[in-house]
Amino acid sequence: MKEKIYKDKKVNNNNMLPGNLLRLPDESLNSTLVFADAGFLSKLSGYFGNGKYLIYDLRKFLESFCKRQKLICKEIFYYTAPPFQKSIPTGLEEKKKEGYDKFIKKLKEQKIIVREGRCQKLKTDGKIIYYQKAVDVFLAMDLTNVLIDFPNVKRVILISSDSDFVPVIKNLEKKGVKTILYTYYEKKRNTNFSRSNDLIKSVYKYVLINKDDFKNCPLVK
């Protein structure tokens, strides 16, 4: 079998790993960080599952995006919020919290960095609506800190549909860090997944997530 050569012997490559006789490229130059909005993924999973949330391996799902971009996943950040609970929680609320805690524990065991906001309960037009609070702030903060905490990273992957991140994305671009967006939108009217032109225009490139992306990462219990 012929040996695969990454670099010609005559080429003086400053990106080569010091002392690496095989002349392999420095992996740090291809490293990326993944920032995943749990609220967006949950909404999308329920949509593709026709009202029933799809079951999938989150880490494999997110790492698959890195592989497609030929990038090495350095860290995964996951932004979420625990389910709402009253000061004296009901039995159902306690059960939801217990399931949530088990899920978060598993993510942390998989070395996924979890940022938790809080869940706010609002009543609008007679309907109860739950909102995640502070989650976007944590995500924007971590995106900004890429320049300080990960100076060698030149590509980041963002899974979201929120145009609030546009200023941060543009600032990263000015500093030499390009954002690859994984998102979903529909062109038809009255949809829960509308397109944000500001967000699309701000990123280096974007990819639309589809149902097969979830199905191709089954959860093995």
Is residue 29 included in any domain, yes or no? no
Q: Kindly tell me the number of DSSP H helices and DSSP E strands found in the chain.
A: 8, 8
In a domain, 101, yes or no: yes
Look at residue 16 and tell me if it is in a domain: no
Residue 173 inside a domain? The answer is yes
Q: pTM to 2 decimals?
A: 0.82
Confidence check: pLDDT of 74 > 60: yes
At 190 the pLDDT is 72
Q: Structural domain of residue 174, as residue ranges?
A: 35-79+91-186
Asked if residue 178 belongs to a domain, the reply is: yes
- The answer to whether residue 131 scores a pLDDT higher than 90 is no
Q: Which of 88, 71, 92, 91 is nearest to 25 (CA)?
A: 71
Q: Average pLDDT in the 71-85 region?
A: 92
Tell whether 4 is covered by a domain: no
pLDDT at residue 176 greater than cutoff 90: yes
> What are the start-end ranges of the E strands in the chain?
31-37, 72-80, 113-116, 118-124, 127-133, 155-159, 178-183, 205-208
Structural domains of the chain, count: 1
- Per-residue pLDDT band at 88 (split at 50, 70, 90): confident
pLDDT at residue 19 above 80?
Answer: no
For 116, the 3-state DSSP assignment is: strand
70 part of a folded domain = yes
Q: Is 20 a residue whose pLDDT tops 70? A: no
With a cut of 70, say whether residue 22 has pLDDT above it.
no
Distance (Å, whole) CA 174 – CA 101? 39
- Strand 205-208, strand 72-80: pairing: unpaired
Share of the chain above pLDDT 70, in %: 81
Between 32-46, 56-70, 82-96, the lowest mean confidence (pLDDT) is in: 82-96
What pLDDT, on the 0 to 100 scale, is given for residue 217?
A: 97
Query: Which of 20, 19, 16, 36 lies closest to 28, judged by CA?
Result: 16
Query: Does any domain span residue 19?
Result: no
pLDDT band at 128 (very low <50, low <70, confident <90, very high): low
Mean pLDDT of 151-168: 96
CATH of the domain at 153: 3.40.50
122: Cβ contacts below 8 Å, ≥ 6 apart: 128, 129, 130, 131
* Residue closest to 215 by CA, chosen among 69, 45, 65: 45
CA distances for 199 relative to 1, 62, 80, 102, 112, angstroms: 47, 20, 21, 34, 25
The sign one gets for the Cα dihedral 28, 155, 182, 140 is positive
Residue 188 has pLDDT above 70, yes or no: yes
